[in-house]
Amino acid sequence: MASFSTNCVCLPSSSYGPNSPNPKFAEQADKEGWPAARFLTAIAEHELAERDRRRIERHLVEAHLLPGKTLDTFEFEAVPMISRAQIMAITAGDAWLEKGANLLLFGPPGGGKSHLASAIGLALIENGWRVLFTRTTDLVQKLQVARRELGLEAAIDRLDRFHLLILDDLAYVTKDQAETSVLFELISARYERRSMLITANQPFGEWGKVFPDPAMTLAAVDRLVHHASIFEMNVESYRRREAIERKRGPGRPASYATPANIAAD
């Protein structure tokens, strides 16, 4: 935090800029007869809160999260194998991000993996961490370009600024992408230093096609699972369930009284 010397009071830049909070504070201070120290504290606190807000805003822009996917809109009842409390603990971040541990979400399409991954990313950003959400194939493509331009190491280093890298749909990496091993190099570089959250339809069985050879697949899986929490979201597609429920509609009203419908009236 900035320290204020006694003989030079340096007001933070936003206190006298075009959106200056000064008039508001000054007016209130005048009206209520604030001592100078209280006035300056109010400005400093406002400035710090503004800086935090702007930082989080920047981190949100760089994260490329899925729009509208939050923990509030995630129905935990639909995935009984995951509790809200577990996920809330994960969103604090410090217990796992500081040691570069990983999170793996497996399950069939439509089960909420991408939604949950993005929502965890959002909560982590709100808690001060830096996150990047990307489809795995997009990132692999970028890293391949970097490798061709002899800049793979630098590109992987640049990703270090993200405490968490969310790789969505690992299994969708294509055969020609797999042959370059850039994904393996990324996983090795982040091992025990920086965290990854990976979503995939298949747990490990299908990963042979994501890496160039079986030895590399084994080495990659080994590094990923060494410090990892694994969630198997083996649930029916949320979209399909919703569609079925819509089709069923509210249903025929009960034709006779039951304890349940009496209580509901």
Cα separation, 124 vs 90, whole angstroms = 8
Helix (H, G, I), strand (E, B) or coil at 230: strand
Report the side by side order of strands in the sheet with 195-200. 131-135, 164-168, 195-200, 102-106, 228-232
Cα separation, 152 vs 181, whole angstroms = 11
109 part of the interface to ligand ADP, by CB under 6 A: yes
239 part of the interface to ligand ADP, by CB under 6 A: yes
Q: Which is nearer to ligand ADP, 114 or 195 (CB)?
A: 114
Closest CA relative to residue 217, chosen from 190, 192, 194, 183: 183
238 part of the interface to ligand ADP, by CB under 6 A: yes
Q: How many residues bind ligand ADP (CB under 6 A)?
A: 16
Compose the 79-118 pattern: x for residues touching Mg ion by CB under 5 A, - for all others: -----------------------------------x----
207 part of the interface to ligand ADP, by CB under 6 A: no
Q: Which does 110 bind (CB under 5 to 8 A by kind): ligand ADP, Mg ion, none?
A: ligand ADP
58 part of the interface to ligand ADP, by CB under 6 A: no
Compose the 65-84 pattern: x for residues touching ligand ADP by CB under 6 A, - for all others: ----x---xxx--xx-----
Is the separation of the CB atoms in 185 and 216 below 8 Å? no
CB of 59 to Mg ion, least distance (A): 22
Strand ranges (DSSP E) for 80-239?
Answer: 102-106, 131-135, 164-168, 195-200, 228-232
Q: Which is nearer to ligand ADP, 185 or 232 (CB)?
A: 232
Q: Which is nearer to ligand ADP, 59 or 113 (CB)?
A: 113
Q: Which residue has the tokens 């084994």?
A: 218
110 part of the interface to ligand ADP, by CB under 6 A: yes
Is the separation of the CB atoms in 168 and 135 below 8 Å? yes
Helix (H, G, I), strand (E, B) or coil at 128: coil
